[in-house]
Amino acid sequence: MEFDLVFIVVASLMALFSIYLIYLIKKGINGLGFLVVLYLSGSMVVMFASLPFFFSTQNKITEALVLMSNSFYMIIGLLAILGLVKKKIGNIRNNLTIFVFALLMAVSEALMGETFYSILTKSLGNPLLGVENYYYFGVMATEMLFTLVYFLKTINFPLREYLAILFPIMIFSPVIFPNNIKFVYDTIWVTASLMIVATIIIYETLYRERLKATQETMTSLEMMIIFTLMMAGEFVYFLIGSWYLFDFSMIAGMTWFIFRAISGPSKIKGNYTQNAKWTFSFITLTFIMEWFMGGVLDFATGIFAPSIPGFISSLSLGYVNPLSYYGLGLLFDLISIIGSVTGSVWFLIMMGTEMGMLAVFRIKNLKNTENKIRFILMISAYAIYTIFLPTFSPIASKVQYIPYMWSMGLGTLGPVSPSVLLTGIIGTYAVSAVLSFLFGARQICSVTCTAPLMYQGTFYDSLKTFNRSSKLGRKTLGSKLKPWFKLIVISVWSALLVAAIISYLNEIGILNFTIFGVDTTVFLYSFYFNVLWYIVFISIPFMGSYACLTQGWCSWGTFNQFIGSFGFFKLQVKDPTICLKCKTKDCARACPVGLTDMAGNFIKKGEFKSMKCVGVGDCVEACPYNNIMFHDVRHVIRNLFRRKIKYK
C-alpha cells in the first residue's frame, strides 16, 4: 500500500512533466529551448534506466553507478548546451528531432514501469517489462489524451481520425493486468474489434480520396504497421507466453502517436490507384495483420491450443519434419500453418466484417435496383452460406450431404467418400449447373462465393484500374480466352480430378495414398482456397482484379462460367445506336473483369455474352444513358407469357 501511493505520486508527476514538455513543443519552441526539452527528456530516460539496477541489488556499488551515470549525463549535457549557445544555435526543430523527442517520452515511461517492478521484486526482468503495469498505461493514457485534445484543432483529416482510433486501441491493452487471464481475453476481443473498425476507416478514407493526386498513403501504412506489430505480439504471447513483442508495439505506437500529432502526416504521399508497389505492400501488410488477428481469435476461442506444441497439434493439415522429402516438408508446413488460420471461422468472420462493411458503404452509391438486391444477397450469402450454415447451424455436421453446400467443388474439406459422392458432390454440381444455366455464373462468382464480397467493396472495387495498368492485368482484357488461361484451367482441373479419384479409391480401400498423411482433396482445397487464393487476392496491383476467374485459378468458377456461357444470362442494351454515339465507353472501363470488347458487341449485336462475364453489373451502373440491362431466365419466361397473351 505504501509503495502504491509512492508509485501513484511518481507516475502523476511523470505524466505532468511529460505533458508540459509536449505543451512546449506544441507552442513551437525551437533552437535552445527545443534542445533543453530534448535534454530534459533524455534525463528521464537516464534516471529511470539506472534506478532498476540500484533497486534490484541495493548496494554501494550500484548506488555509486546510478549517481555517476546521472551526474555524467547532467554535466556533459549542460556543457554541450553551453557550447551550442556560444555558437548561436539555430533551427533544430525537424522531423528527426521531433521523432527523437517522441521516442524518449515513450521509452522513459516504459523505464519508469521497469523501475517500479524492480522496487517490488528486487530484480530486473526483461527490458520491456515496464510496459506491463497499470502505472505505465495511466501515464501513457494521460499524455495521449492531452495530446489528442490539445492538438485536435491543428490536426487535419484523416490523421485526426487515425489518432482518435489508435487511442482506445492502445488503452485497452491486455498487458495492463497480464496475469489476469479473463482480463487478457476480454481486452483481446475489444482491441480486435476496434482494430477491425480502424481498418475499415483507413480503407474507406483512402477510397474517398482516390480522385486526389496525393493521399496520406504513407501515414496509413505506418498505422497498419503498428496494428500488425500489436497483433503479432498477441500471437507470440499465445505461442511462447511472452508479451515482449507486444510491449515493443506499445512503445512504437506511443512514439508514433506523439510524433505524428506534433509533426503532422507523413510528407511521403501518393495515390493508391496509381502506385502498384505501394498498394501491394499495403494490402499484403493488411493481410498479415489480419492473419495474426485471426490466429489470436482462434487461440482465444480454443480452436488453437496455446504454446508452440499446442499450436502445431491444432493445425488442420498437421505438421511434419520440414526437412522431409528434400524440403517439401517445409512447403507442406507453410501451407498447413497459413491455411489453418485463413480457413478458420474467426478469420472468415473478421474478413467478412471488414469487407462486408466496405460493400455496405457501396450500396448507397448504386443506381440499379437489381444491383442493390444482389449486394444484399451477396452480403447475406457470406453470413449465412459461408459462416452460419457450415459452422453454427443445427445442420453444420450434415452440410456435406446437402447439394449446393459441398464446399467449392472437388476441392473439399473432407475426403471423397461414397456417402457424399452422390448428394454432396454430384448433387452440388447438378444444382449449381442448373442455376448457372438459368442465371449465369453470377450466382456463384457475384453472390455466393466469398470472393465477390472481398472484390466488390468500395476500396477493392477501385483497384480494377490495375486491370489496365498492370502488365499481367492487360493480358486478361477482353473476352477471348488466351492459351495460358486454358493451360491454367486444365492444370487446376487435372490436379483436382486426380486428387478426387485418389481420395475415392482411398475411401473404398483400393489405394492408400496421402500427402503427408492428409487426404489429397483436403490438401488441394487448403492449398487452392486458403493459400493460393489469398496470394492472387493481394496481388491485384500486378494481376488485376478478379484474377481468380480471369486467369482460371478457381475450378468452381470456371465450371460455372462454362455452363453459364451456354445459358440464358447475357447483357442487353435498350438502344444500340446510343452505344454507337457514346465516346467514353464507361461500361468497358467499369468492368471488374476487363471485358473491353463489351461496347463493340453492344453496337453490333445489341447484346453481350462472354464466359468471363459474371454479372457484377458495374457496366450497368457506369452507363451514363441507363442503356444496359441484365437478361436471364426471368426475362425469357416473361417474354413467353407476353407472346402468349399477345397471341390470345
DSSP 316-331: SS----TTTTTTHHHH
CB atoms within 10 A of CB 388: 13
Model confidence band, residue 646 (pLDDT cutoffs 50, 70, 90): low
Domain boundaries of the chain, sorted by first residue: 2-274
Distance CA 629, CA 619 (A): 9
**pLDDT value for 478:** 93
Short-list 555, 445, 426, CA closest to 491: 555
Give residue-wise pLDDT tens across range 496-548: 999 999 999 999 999 999 999 999 999 998 999 899 999 999 999 999 999 99
On the question of pLDDT at 630 being above 90, the answer is yes
On the question of pLDDT at 423 being above 90, the answer is no
Mean pLDDT confidence for 450-472: 93
CB proximity list for 15: less than 8 A, separation 6 or greater: 138, 139, 142, 143
Phi, psi of 611 (to 5 degrees): -60, -30
**pLDDT value for 8:** 85
**pLDDT value for 489:** 94
Helical ranges in 122-180 per DSSP H = 134-151, 159-171
**pLDDT value for 235:** 97
Mean pLDDT confidence for 599-615: 93
**pLDDT value for 266:** 92
On the question of pLDDT at 483 being above 80, the answer is yes
**pTM given for the model:** 0.92
**pLDDT value for 122:** 80
Distance CA 447, CA 268 (A): 38
Q: Which 3 state secondary structure label does DSSP give 607? A: strand
Distance CA 551, CA 212 (A): 31
Give the residues across from 515 on adjacent strands: 518
Side-chain half-sphere exposure of 33, counting CA atoms within 13 A? 10
Give residue-wise pLDDT tens across range 357-403: 999 999 988 999 999 999 999 999 999 988 998 889 998 888 888 88
pLDDT, averaged across the chain? 89
Distance CA 533, CA 337 (A): 15
Q: Do residues 585 and 448 lie in contact, with contact meaning Cβ atoms separated by under 8 Å?
A: no
Short-list 104, 621, 39, CA closest to 366: 621
Distance CA 268, CA 74 (A): 37
**pLDDT value for 398:** 85
In the sheet that holds 628-631, the strands lie side by side as 607-608, 570-573, 628-631
Model confidence band, residue 408 (pLDDT cutoffs 50, 70, 90): low
